[in-house]
Structure 1
Amino acid sequence: MTNTTIETRNLDQYGNAALRWSQAQELLATESASKDVPFFLNTVRPDGRPHSAGIGAVWFSDALHFVSGPGTRKSRNLAENPACTVSVRLTGMDLVLEGDARRITDESTLDRVAARYRESGWPAQREGQAFTAPYTAPSGGPPPWYVYRVSLRAAHAVATVEPGGATRWTFS
């Protein structure tokens, strides 16, 4: 998110200070890719109905990345409409990311994302323009798996610990 303008809007109705985007980024960097931190991707079906699926995600190079098999509903939805949200409960913060998820095909970027997944314990390997591994989450579909990057338009967070707070960030 280098060279990005961030607008912060304090949504807290109790007088608490706005949450910091840097705090959300730090939590994403340290807690993503953990099997104990569930992420939920929300996409739109071609008929306009919502679709939600659990995903394993990593925060890498200032963006959220995830994998999905080409035949899965989420991949087919994103091929038609890249708009999505991703929800996650982090330590002390519930966070929703809004943006567009687009498939990554650049092999050097894929190699770096695969390395980040391996650091977290999932043995992903790049094979061409996708990933393979001995296993993945049941919602991932069969290999190979496409890799997606979420380009953020907005995010909002609610603190789940004192002193509290609620904030919306928009990115341009």
Structure 2
Amino acid sequence: MKEPITKIDPRFSDPQAVATPWEETQRALETAQLFWISTMRSDGRPHVTPLVAVWLDGAIHFSTGPEEQKAINLRQNPHVVLTTGCNDWKEGLDVMVEGDAVPCTDNAMLKRLAEAWATKWDGSWKFEVRDGAFYHPKGGKVLVFAVKLAKILAFSKGSFSHTRHQF
């Protein structure tokens, strides 16, 4: 992954604020326990739902059942936003990842991702890998997507800053 171009947006930042370094934003993506994904329904209405995701090899990855609303939406429109952060106004970092969801079907990569899912959540998320997909132990195919990054926004609170990481 190439390093992004990082710039602070002074219009939405405190005068003394500095840009959030890419390393800090990436760490937030690596350690986040929960994300919210936004997709678009065929009639143009937004769909937002929580999910777990894994940062691996310079991309954020998420999964969904083939008949879940987000999977249906992605068949027509690959544009997504994944959001994570904290609900505290005085401190923390909120991060928005914008890009296109691309199916991940390579079994070798899926095995690495399955291991990452199991490790990150202490074994709570376990998947088998076969035929270019995850399979849940209780049955059922699970699609996996990588987000092809367009930009990542980082909003620092306390000393408010609005940082754009452009890819």
Gaps of 5+ in 1: 136-141
Instruction: Provide the residue aligned with 1:128 in structure 2.
Output: 131
Distance 1:164 1:13 in 2: 5
CA RMSD of aligned residues (A): 1.9
User: Stretches of 4+ moved more than 4 A in 1?
Assistant: none
Instruction: Provide the residue aligned with 1:146 in structure 2.
Output: 143
Instruction: Provide the residue aligned with 1:99 in structure 2.
Output: 99
User: How much has 1:47 moved relative to structure 2?
Assistant: 1.2
Distance 1:152 1:83 in 2: 10
Residue 39, structure 1, aligned to residue 35, structure 2: yes
Instruction: Provide the residue aligned with 1:14 in structure 2.
Output: 15
Query: Under a length normalisation based on structure 1, what TM-score does the superposition of the two structures give?
Result: 0.83
Residues matched between the structures, number: 158
**1:46 match: secondary structure:** coil
**1:7–1:27 CA distance, 2 compared to 1 (3 A):** closer
Distance 1:166 1:15 in 2: 12
User: How much has 1:6 moved relative to structure 2?
Assistant: 2.0
User: How much has 1:52 moved relative to structure 2?
Assistant: 0.7
Query: Under a length normalisation based on structure 2, what TM-score does the superposition of the two structures give?
Result: 0.86
What do the CA deviations read for 1:38-80 (whole angstroms, capped 9, x no partner)?
A: 2110001111111111111011111100100111110111111
Distance 1:148 1:128 in 2: 15
Distance 1:8 1:159 in 2: 13
Percent sequence identity over aligned pairs: 32
Distance 1:8 1:163 in 2: 16
Q: Does the Cα contact within 8 Å between 1:9 and 1:18 map onto a contact in 2?
A: yes
User: How much has 1:163 moved relative to structure 2?
Assistant: 3.7
Q: Does the Cα contact within 8 Å between 1:78 and 1:102 map onto a contact in 2?
A: no
